Amino acid sequence: MALSIIFGLVTLFALWAVFRELKRKNVFALGFAFLTLAVFGWFTVMTVIDLFHTGGWGAGH
C-alpha cells in the first residue's frame, strides 16, 4: 500500500514537471520529466492493479 502511494506521489510530481518544462520550453528537462512520468506512472498503475487483483493489502503477502 505504501509503495503505491509513493509511486503515485512521484508520478504527480513528474506530471507537474512535464507541464512546467513545457512552459519553459526546456526540451532536455522535458525529456527526463516525461521518461520519469512514463516509468513511475506505469509502476503506479501496475502496483494498484496488483493490489486489487491479489488482495495484497496486508503484510505477509
How much is the pLDDT for 27? 96
> Do the domain assignments include residue 21?
yes
Query: Positive or negative CA dihedral for 35, 39, 44, 49?
Result: positive
How much is the pLDDT for 55? 73
Which residue range(s) make up the domain with 25? 2-54
> Do the domain assignments include residue 60?
no
Q: Please write the tens of the pLDDT for every residue from 6-44.
A: 999 999 999 999 999 999 999 999 999 999 999 999 999
Task: Compute the distance between CA of residue 4 and CA of residue 45 in angstroms, rounded to an integer.
Answer: 8
> Do the domain assignments include residue 46?
yes
> Do the domain assignments include residue 48?
yes
> Do the domain assignments include residue 61?
no
Retrieve residue 5's grid coordinates.
502511494
Q: Which residue has the higher pLDDT, 28 or 60?
A: 28
How much is the pTM?
0.80
Task: Compute the distance between CA of residue 47 and CA of residue 25 in angstroms, rounded to an integer.
Answer: 32
> Do the domain assignments include residue 59?
no
How much is the pLDDT for 53? 84
